[in-house]
């Protein structure tokens, strides 16, 4: 082993009360098979898996019961034998506290494995190529066991040369000891996994970083890795958050992962020891990931310890295995006390990312308390391992100034909780940061939408102006020509009109005029077609416009019906316009998204036809809407209807739109669930700030020149005023909840506005 063990350090961080020895008194125990397994389809980051078994089907241990859906996804395997009794939504352990689809298996106690594994075990994996290894890891359903649950095979396909593999054995959160015991008791399997991963990513060596409060783990790993000089065990200081990926990288290499980048950007790949072991077992023993080590601990657990538990085991079953509760728990957490999250109950399954179940006694953890104002003491800044300014972040997050939080590098925050831990005012800082991040993501989404809408709007505006201009020019030219014709009726040859292409070389000025008009129009149409890009709504609007233009032209033109020449011209033009607009009703109805590229005039016409149909749905409705008594309500209704119609027209064929709609629905659902829980002081504070801001914006936009926007603004102002009236009822949680919900709604509408206005 190299003597060169220079360690670096990350800034900030904390010494915490680790309380790990509670759960390390017993060796890891293999938990029995529970009577029922609940396997969520989404246990990893990315798309949920798709079930491939049916209710009533018998499954065996290790059998694939759900297949990955998309690239960032992994399969799920039955963790024991039994019968699938349900595929339905069940509560899962997730920050959101929501339910999600799960496969429920009633076990039969026989724990029967597949007769033959789904792939072949390999003794000497050094002969395997990287691709096979990755595929095996994927098929084994391995997702990062450290907590984030990112599909591991992706990190095995770096797509560039990797300098060093880092195994993150710095389990720095208090209470959790699953990695520690795994390293101490299964070091050889971890080292085996390291060797597989090195092989797969083609890295020359590996650093295993272990905190100095885990001497057993260090000794075991050193012994196991003694034969492989590529692998070094590095002892690092016990300091929270040493196990943060970025912090451990800094400690071991002295380098920093670039902001918003990945360790891979500096030639590093980081894995968790549990993941390494799972990789080993998948390759060497052809075992999919059906179990993991889980720490069951906390002041109310009779015998805190680590279990090797089947994925899907109900948490209360594991707690019973640990002797049950000695008293009712004050709080249940999944993960550690610094970064874990509260669980509503213990009737939730162990999933691939469940590293710890913490059942704390009342008073063991932080009591509920009101936060005091920030006194700007700077304790948070000193503790922040990322060198952010938590106090300023808090200030702006609280005020709803999310753009400022972003400028203060909010997105570099690793949510380690150091700042909140040292804050003498007991402000739930991390909660504010999470909230701000969520808001910014939502805003970004809305902004992207709004940008698209604005572009559509501007394109339309430009087109309208151009059309108007051209119509004027054409009319002027027509008049001039008619005058000229009358003047020189008999003798003179009228010179071709400027810009007109002499049609068929004819010297008939009328024909020339018609030709000129046609050419102009065609050119315009082509231009229109290409301007309409591939956006169906823009196309729809264009088509509607064109049709309308055509009909007005028609009526204009038919008035001077006694002039045959004018009539002829008008007719020609109308025909042309109709054709361009897709006039014939029997034009093929193709879905807008599939419209051919519009640089071809015919294609443009077809596209226009399709679009016209959409336009009927999208464009006409608001104009026809019966005038309600309240002009504001009317304006809003119209704008909303238009928006809804536009979305409708757009959605069916467009998966992106669908996804956004789904996300929006989800968000709405989430907000609906969280809003009543508005005794949450953070939500309340931010909601208040937002309501105020909305009111301000509403008044500010009064001078907008778009009547719809103005109407909405006015309505919003009214609403904000109502909210403002509601907010002084500060002490009443119901009133507060309502105010918060209202403010959120106002904010949403504010974000929608650009759409409505276009």
Bridge partners (DSSP) of residue 89 are: 101
586 binds other proteins (CB under 8 A): no
Distance separating alpha carbons of residues 420 and 14, to the nearest angstrom: 11
Q: Which is nearer to ligand SF4, 236 or 383 (CB)?
A: 383
Q: How far is the CB of 349 from ligand SF4 (least distance, A)?
A: 29
For other proteins, which residue of 331, 518, 690, 742 counts as binding (CB under 8 A)?
331
Nearest to 757 by CA among 664, 605, 672, 646: 646
Cβ 14 to other proteins shortest distance, Å: 9
Q: Considering only 127-135, 300-308, 406-414, 706-714, which stretch makes contact with other proteins by CB under 8 A?
A: 406-414
Question: Which token pair is 356?
Answer: 């710890």
Q: List interacting residues with ligand SF4 (CB under 6 A).
A: 374-380, 383-386, 388, 390-391, 394, 413-419, 422-425, 427, 429-430, 433
To ligand SF4, the closest distance from the beta carbon of 64 in angstroms equals 38
Name which of ligand SF4, other proteins, none residue 333 binds, using a CB cut-off of 5 to 8 Å depending on partner kind: other proteins
CB of 344 or CB of 424, closer to ligand SF4 = 424
Interface region with other proteins, contact rule CB under 8 A, candidates 368-376, 546-554, 608-616, 639-647: 368-376
Q: Which residues of 342-369 are buried (b: 16+ CB within 10 A; e: fewer)?
A: ebeebebbbbbbbbbbbbbbeebeeeee
Q: Give the pair of three-digit tokens for residue 307.
A: 């279990």
Each residue 333-362 as x (binds other proteins by CB under 8 A) or -, in order, gives x-x-xxxxxx-----------------x--
**Nearest-approach distance from CB 155 to other proteins, in angstroms:** 19
Q: Do the annotations mark residue 178 as ligand-binding?
A: no
Considering only 110, 376, 475, 718, the residue that binds other proteins (CB under 8 A) is 376
Whether the ω angle into residue 731 lies within 30 degrees of 0, i.e. cis, is no
Q: Which does 694 bind (CB under 5 to 8 A by kind): other proteins, ligand SF4, none?
A: none
Query: Which one of other proteins, ligand SF4, none interacts with residue 427, CB within 5 to 8 A by kind?
Result: ligand SF4
Considering the complex, state which of residue 364 and residue 534 has its C-beta at the smaller distance from other proteins.
364
Which 3-state string (H, E, C) describes 519-549? HHHHHHHHHHHHHCCCCHHHHHHHHHHHHHH
Output 525 or 678, the one with its CB closest to other proteins.
Answer: 678
677-736: contacts with other proteins (CB under 8 A): 677, 680, 682
Report d(CA 442, CA 667) in Å as an integer: 9
HSE-up (13 A, CA, CB side) for residue 282: 30
Per rule CB under 8 A, is residue 170 in the interface with other proteins? no
Q: How far is Cα 58 from Cα 80, in angstroms, rounded to an integer?
A: 11
- Are 582 and 606 a contacting pair, CB within 8 Å? yes
Check binding of 382 to other proteins (CB under 8 A).
Answer: yes
Interaction partner, residue 366 (ligand SF4, other proteins, none; CB < 5-8 Å by kind): other proteins
**Given 36, 157, 425, 699, the residue binding other proteins (CB under 8 A):** 425
The residue from 400, 417, 529, 582 that contacts other proteins (CB under 8 A) is: 417
Shortest distance, position 176 Cβ to other proteins, whole Å: 13
* Residue 235 binds: one of ligand SF4, other proteins, none (C-beta under 5 to 8 A by kind): none
**Using the 8-state DSSP alphabet, how is residue 665 labeled?**
H
Contact 77, 43 (CB under 8 A): no
Q: Is 172 annotated as a binding residue?
A: no
Within 8 A by CB and 6+ apart from 230, the residues are 198, 204, 205, 206
Give the pairing of strands 205-211 and 164-169: parallel
CA distance 508 to 505: 9
51, 36 Cβ separation under 8 angstroms: no
Q: Is 356 in contact with 343 (CB distance < 8 Å)?
A: no
Reduced DSSP (H G I as helix, E B as strand, rest coil) percent helix, strand, coil of the chain, to 5: 50, 10, 40
Cα distance between residue 639 and residue 641, in whole Å: 5
383 contact choice in other proteins, ligand SF4, none (CB below 5 to 8 Å, kind-dependent): ligand SF4
Is 423 a binding residue for other proteins by CB under 8 A? The answer is yes
Selection from ligand SF4, other proteins, none that 256 binds (CB < 5 to 8 A by kind) is: other proteins
356 is in an annotated binding site: no
Which of 53, 408, 542, 694 binds other proteins (CB under 8 A)? It is 408
Q: Which residues contact 508 (CB under 8 A, 6 or more apart)?
A: none
What distance in Å separates the CA atoms of residue 123 and residue 450, rounded to the nearest whole number?
Answer: 57
Q: Confirm whether residue 380 is marked as ligand binding.
A: yes
Q: Is the dihedral of CA 577, 583, 588, 590 positive or negative?
A: positive
- Rank residues 176 and 430 by Cβ distance to ligand SF4 and give the closer one: 430
Sequence-ordered list of residues with C-beta below 8 angstroms from that of 664, at least 6 positions apart, any chain? none
Residue 297 interacts with which of ligand SF4, other proteins, none, CB < 5 to 8 Å by class: none
Minimum distance from residue 382 beta carbon to ligand SF4 (Å):
9
Instruction: State the minimum distance, in angstroms, from the CB of residue 618 to other proteins.
Output: 42
Binders of other proteins in range 256-295 (CB under 8 A): 256-261
Q: Which of ligand SF4, other proteins, none binds 392 (CB below 5-8 Å, type-dependent)?
A: other proteins
Distance (Å, rounded) from C-alpha 679 to C-alpha 732? 9
Q: Which does 394 bind (CB under 5 to 8 A by kind): ligand SF4, other proteins, none?
A: ligand SF4
Peptide bond into 279 cis (omega under 30): no
> Rounded to whole angstroms, how far apart are CA atoms 7 and 14?
18
Residues in the chain: 758
Give whichever of 225 and 333 is closer to other proteins, judged by the CB atom.
Answer: 333
CB of 13 to other proteins, least distance (A): 12
SS (H, E, C) 676-727: HHCCCHHHHHHHHHHHHHHHHHHHHHHHCCCHHHHHHHHHHHHHHHHHHHHC
Judged by beta carbon distances under 5 to 8 A according to partner kind, the member of other proteins, ligand SF4, none in contact with residue 261 is other proteins
What is d(CA 408, CA 518) in angstroms, rounded to the nearest whole number? 58
Question: According to the binding rule CB under 8 A, does residue 391 interact with other proteins?
Answer: yes
Count of Cβ atoms closer than 10 Å to residue 27 Cβ: 10
Q: How far is CA 116 from CA 33, 120, 127, in A?
A: 21, 8, 22
Q: Which residues are annotated as a binding site for [4Fe-4S] cluster?
A: 374, 377, 380, 384, 413, 416, 419, 423
Binding residues: 374, 377, 380, 384, 413, 416, 419, 423
Binding residues vs other proteins (CB under 8 A): 10-11, 16-17, 174, 246, 250, 256-261, 331, 333, 335, 337-342, 360, 364-368, 370, 372-379, 381-382, 385-389, 391-392, 407-409, 412, 415, 417, 420-426, 428, 430-431, 434, 677, 680, 682
């Amino acid at each position: 082993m190299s003597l060169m063990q220079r360690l670096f350090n990350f800034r900030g961080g904390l010494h915490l009360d680790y309380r790990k020895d509670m759960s390390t008194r017993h060796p890891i125990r293999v938990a029995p098979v529970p009577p029922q397994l609940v396997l969520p389809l989404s246990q990893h980051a990315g798309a949920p898996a798709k079930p491939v078994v049916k209710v009533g089907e018998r499954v065996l241990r290790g059998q694939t019961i759900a297949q990955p859906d998309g690239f960032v996804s992994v399969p799920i395997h039955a963790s024991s034998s039994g019968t699938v009794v349900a595929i339905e939504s069940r509560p899962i352990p997730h920050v959101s506290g929501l339910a999600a689809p799960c496969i429920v298996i009633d076990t039969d106690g026989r724990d029967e494995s597949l007769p033959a594994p789904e792939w072949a075990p390999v003794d000497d994996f050094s002969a395997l190529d990287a691709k096979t290894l990755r595929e095996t890891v994927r098929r084994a359903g391995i997702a990062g066991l450290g907590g984030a649950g990112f599909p591991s095979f992706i990190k095995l396909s770096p797509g560039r040369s990797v300098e060093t593999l880092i195994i993150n054995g710095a389990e720095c959160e208090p209470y959790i000891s699953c990695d520690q015991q795994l390293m101490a008791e299964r070091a050889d399997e971890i080292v085996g996994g390291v060797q597989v991963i090195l092989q797969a990513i083609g890295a020359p060596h590996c650093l295993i970083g272990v905190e100095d409060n885990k001497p057993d783990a260090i000794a075991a790993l050193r012994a196991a890795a003694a034969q492989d000089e590529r692998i070094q065990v590095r002892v690092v200081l016990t300091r929270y958050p040493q196990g943060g990926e970025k912090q451990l990288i800094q400690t071991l290499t002295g380098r920093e992962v670039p902001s918003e980048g990945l360790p891979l950007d500096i030639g590093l790949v980081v894995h968790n020891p549990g993941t390494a072991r799972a990789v080993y077992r998948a390759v060497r023993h052809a075992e999919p990931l059906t179990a993991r080590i889980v720490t069951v601990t906390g002041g109310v657990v009779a015998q805190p310890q680590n279990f090797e538990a089947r994925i899907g085991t109900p948490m209360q079953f594991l707690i019973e295995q640990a002797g049950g509760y000695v008293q009712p728990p004050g709080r249940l957490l999944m993960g550690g006390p610094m970064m874990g999250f509260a669980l509503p109950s213990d009737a939730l399954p162990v999933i691939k990312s469940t590293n710890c179940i913490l059942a704390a006694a009342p008073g063991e953890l932080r009591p509920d308390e009101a936060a005091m104002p920030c006194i700007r003491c700077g304790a948070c800044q000193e503790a922040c391992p990322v060198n952010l300014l938590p106090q300023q972040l808090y200030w702006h997050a609280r005020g709803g100034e999310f753009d400022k939080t972003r400028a203060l590098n909010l997105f570099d925050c690793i949510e380690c909780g150091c700042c909140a831990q040292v804050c003498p005012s007991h402000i739930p800082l991390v909660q504010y940061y999470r909230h701000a991040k969520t808001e910014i993501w939502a805003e970004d989404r809305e902004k992207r939408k709004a940008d698209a809408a604005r572009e559509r709007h501007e394109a339309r505006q430009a087109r309208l102006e151009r059309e108007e201009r051209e119509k004027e020019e054409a009319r002027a030219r027509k008049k001039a020509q008619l005058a000229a014709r009358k003047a020189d009726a008999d003798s003179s040859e009228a010179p071709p009109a400027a810009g007109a292409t002499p049609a068929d070389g004819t010297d008939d000025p009328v024909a020339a005029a018609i030709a000129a008009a046609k050419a102009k129009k065609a050119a315009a149409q082509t231009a229109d077609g290409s301007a309409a890009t591939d956006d169906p709504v823009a196309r729809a609007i264009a088509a509607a416009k064109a049709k309308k233009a055509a009909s007005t032209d028609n009526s204009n033109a038919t008035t001077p019906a006694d002039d045959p020449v004018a009539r002829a011209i008008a007719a020609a033009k109308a025909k042309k316009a109709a054709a361009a607009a897709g006039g014939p009703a029997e034009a093929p109805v193709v879905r807008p998204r599939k419209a051919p590229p519009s640089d071809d005039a015919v294609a443009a016409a077809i596209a226009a036809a399709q679009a016209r149909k959409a336009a009927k749905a999208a464009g006409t409705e608001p104009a026809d809407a019966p005038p309600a008594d309240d002009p504001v309500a009317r304006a809003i209704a119209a704008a909303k209807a238009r928006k809804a119609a536009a979305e409708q027209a757009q959605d069916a064929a467009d998966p992106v739109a669908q996804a956004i709609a789904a996300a929006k629905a989800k968000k709405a659902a989430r907000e609906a669930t969280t809003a009543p829980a508005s005794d949450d002081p953070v939500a309340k504070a931010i909601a208040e700030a937002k309501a105020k801001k909305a009111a301000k914006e509403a008044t500010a936009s009064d001078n907008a020149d778009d009547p719809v926007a103005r109407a909405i603004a006015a309505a919003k102002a009214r609403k904000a005023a109502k909210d403002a009236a509601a907010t002084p009822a500060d002490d009443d949680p119901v009133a507060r909840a309502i105010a918060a919900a209202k403010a959120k709604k106002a904010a949403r509408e504010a974000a929608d506005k650009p759409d409505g206005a276009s």
